[in-house]
C-alpha cells in the first residue's frame, strides 16, 4: 500500500498521521505498514461472500482459504461447484438456453493484482470460470468469445460436453409455446453466482459465472463477464459483483461504480445502495426488473442491496456459513 493511501486510511480509522510517520522511520517500511494495517482493521480472514443461496460453493471456497491457498483459487473452486450443479438453471451445466435452445455461458475472474480474464458466449464447456482463469494466466488477452473461447478451452485440456439437460430442454420447449420474452424478476433462491473472497494474506479476488438471461437472443452477452459491470476488484479497496438484468448493470458499470464509491469512503452497504439508486433513477420501469449487488471491502465489511425483495447472499465468515436476505429498494 502506498504511504499516501495508508495515511488516508489510517486517518479514516482515527489513527493520525503521527502513526504513519513512525512507520517511515522504520527499516522495513512496507512490512511495518502491513502489520499495522492488519492490526488496525483486525480483519478476521478468510471471508467468502456470494450472491444467492449457495452454501456448497462458499463452503468449498472457505476450505481452500482455510488451507492457506489464495483467494483466486477459492473463487475458481467455489464457482465450479455451482457450474457443475445441474439443478441451478442459470449457471453452467443445466443452465437455461437461449431462444434457439443453445446454452451459452459467460464468466470472468479477477485477482488481487488487478488481472482479469473472461469468456463470453461460450458453449459446450462446463467450467467457464476455469477457462476465464486460463485466459487471464495463459494468454496475452483478457476476453475470448464464442467458438474461439471454446477452441481455446479444448486446446488447454477441457472436454466438450452437452450442457442442455433434460430439465432445461423441457423448460425451453414449454417457453417456446408462448415465446414471451421479458426479463424475469428472480424470486428464486438461486441464480448467477458472483463471489468475492479475502484470503489469509488479506488479498481479495472475485469471480462471476452465468448462463445469462433465459431465452435471450443468440449472441447476447450480459454484464457477468464484463469487467467493471458484473465484477470489479481493487485489492486496495475491495470488490463488488452483480446479478439480475445485465443490460442495466452494464449501462451503469455497476461493480466499478461500487468500488469507486467505497474508495471515496462509502461503506459497502452505502455503495451498493447508491448503485441501485442510479439504476432506479434512470428507469421509470424499474418495477419490472431485478438487479442485486454484493460488495466486500478491505476491512471485511460487506454490503448487499437489490431493487426488489428476495435477493439473498451467502456469507462464510468466522466459521459460519449462512444465507441472508438482502435489503431492497422497492417496498411498495
Ligand atoms: C445476465 N446478470 O446475463 C446476468 C443474469 C443474472 O440473475 O444475473 N440473472 O444479465
**Ligand 1 pocket: which of 215, 246, 279 to mutate (most atoms <8 Å of CB)?**
246
Q: Looking at the predicted structure, is the pLDDT value of residue 261 above 70?
A: yes
CA–centroid distance, residue 208 to ligand 1 (Å): 10
- What are 85-95's pLDDT values in tens digits? 888 778 888 88
241 lines ligand 1 (CB under 6 A): no
Give nearest CA residue, ligand 1 atom 9.
244
pLDDT-above-70 percentage for the chain: 86
Q: What's the confidence (pLDDT) of residue 9? A: 40
Which ligand 1 atom sits nearest the alpha carbon of residue 191? 7
CA distance 94 to 101: 12
CA–centroid distance, residue 96 to ligand 1 (Å): 12
CA distance 285 to 91: 27
SS3 279: helix
223 lines ligand 1 (CB under 6 A): yes
CA–centroid distance, residue 39 to ligand 1 (Å): 38
Q: Looking at the predicted structure, is the pLDDT value of residue 118 above 70?
A: yes
Q: What's the confidence (pLDDT) of residue 179? A: 80
246 lines ligand 1 (CB under 6 A): yes
Which ligand 1 atom sits nearest the alpha carbon of residue 194? 8
Answer whether 134's CB lies under 8 Å from 144's CB: no
Three cell numbers, residue 128:
467457464
Q: Is the dihedral of CA 164, 185, 257, 74 positive or negative?
A: negative
pLDDT category, 40, cuts 50, 70, 90? Answer: low
89 lines ligand 1 (CB under 6 A): no
Q: Is pTM, for the whole model, over 0.85?
A: yes
Largest CA distance in the chain: 73
Q: Where are the alpha helices (DSSP H) in the chain?
A: 3-12, 17-25, 29-41, 55-66, 71-84, 128-138, 146-155, 166-178, 246-252, 254-263, 268-282
Answer whether 118's CB lies under 8 Å from 143's CB: yes
- Residue 100's nearest CA partner among 176, 199, 33 is 176
244 lines ligand 1 (CB under 6 A): yes
- What are 211-235's pLDDT values in tens digits? 999 899 999 999 999 999 999 999 9
Phi first, then psi, for residue 34 (nearest 5°) are -60, -50
**Ligand 1 pocket: which of 184, 187, 191, 210 to mutate (most atoms <8 Å of CB)?**
210
Answer whether 199's CB lies under 8 Å from 69's CB: yes
Answer whether 233's CB lies under 8 Å from 151's CB: no
Order the strands of the 204-210 sheet from edge to edge.
143-145, 116-122, 105-110, 204-210, 193-198, 47-51, 312-317, 320-325
CA distance 87 to 54: 12
Q: Looking at the predicted structure, is the pLDDT value of residue 18 above 90?
A: no
Overall size of the chain counted in residues: 332
Place of cell 488481487: 112
- What are 189-209's pLDDT values in tens digits? 457 899 999 999 999 999 999
Residue 58 catalytic?
no
CA distance 287 to 299: 34
- Which of 181-185, 211-215, 320-324 is predicted with the least confidence, judged by mean pLDDT? 181-185
239 lines ligand 1 (CB under 6 A): no
Q: Looking at the predicted structure, is the pLDDT value of residue 281 above 50?
A: yes
CA–centroid distance, residue 101 to ligand 1 (Å): 18
- Residue 222's nearest CA partner among 195, 243, 200, 197 is 243
Q: What's the confidence (pLDDT) of residue 26? A: 45
- Residue 135's nearest CA partner among 227, 254, 216, 58 is 227
Catalytic residue among 104, 192, 209, 252: 192
- Residue 212's nearest CA partner among 229, 191, 188, 233 is 191
Amino acid at each position: 500500500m502506498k504511504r499516501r493511501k495508508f495515511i488516508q486510511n489510517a486517518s479514516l480509522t482515527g489513527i493520525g498521521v503521527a502513526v504513519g510517520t513512525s512507520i517511515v522511520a522504520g527499516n522495513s517500511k512496507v512490512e511495518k505498514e502491513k502489520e499495522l494495517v492488519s492490526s488496525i482493521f483486525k480483519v478476521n480472514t478468510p471471508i467468502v461472500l456470494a450472491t444467492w443461496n449457495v452454501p456448497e460453493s462458499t463452503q468449498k471456497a472457505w476450505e481452500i482459504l482455510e488451507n492457506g491457498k489464495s483467494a483466486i483459487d477459492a473463487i475458481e473452486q467455489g464457482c465450479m461447484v455451482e457450474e457443475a450443479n445441474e439443478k441451478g438453471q442459470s449457471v453452467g451445466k443445466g443452465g437455461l438456453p437461449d431462444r434457439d435452445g443453445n446454452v451459452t455461458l459467460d464468466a470472468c475472474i479477477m485477482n488481487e493484482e488487478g488481472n482479469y480474464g473472461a469468456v463470453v458466449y461460450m458453449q459446450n464447456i462446463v467450467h467457464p470460470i476455469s477457462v476465464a482463469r486460463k485466459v487471464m494466466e495463459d494468454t496475452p488477452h483478457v476476453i475470448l468469445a464464442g467458438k474461439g473461447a471454446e477452441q481455446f478451452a479444448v486446446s488447454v485440456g477441457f472436454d466438450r460436453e452437452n450442457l442442455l439437460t433434460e430439465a432445461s430442454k423441457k423448460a425451453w420447449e414449454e417457453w417456446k409455446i408462448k415465446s414471451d420474452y421479458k426479463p424475469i424478476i428472480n424470486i428464486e433462491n438461486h441464480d448467477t453466482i458472483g463471489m468475492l473472497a479475502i484470503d489469509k494474506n488479506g488479498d481479495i479476488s472475485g469471480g462471476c459465472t452465468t448462463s445469462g438471461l433465459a431465452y435471450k437472443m443468440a449472441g447476447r452477452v450480459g454484464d457477468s463477464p464484463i469487467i467493471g459491470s458484473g465484477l470489479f476488484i481493487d485489492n486496495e479497496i475491495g470488490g463488488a459483483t452483480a446479478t439480475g438484468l445485465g443490460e442495466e448493470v452494464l449501462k451503469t458499470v455497476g461493480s466499478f461504480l461500487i468500488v469507486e464509491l467505497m474508495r471515496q469512503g462509502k461503506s459497502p452497504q452505502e455503495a451498493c445502495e447508491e448503485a441501485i439508486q442510479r439504476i432506479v433513477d434512470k428507469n421509470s420501469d424499474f418495477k419490472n426488473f431485478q438487479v442485486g449487488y454484493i460488495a466486500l471491502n478491505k476491512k471485511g465489511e460487506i454490503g448487499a442491496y437489490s431493487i426488489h425483495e428476495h435477493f439473498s447472499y451467502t456469507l462464510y465468515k468466522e466459521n459460519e456459513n449462512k444465507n441472508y436476505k438482502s435489503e431492497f429498494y422497492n417496498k411498495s
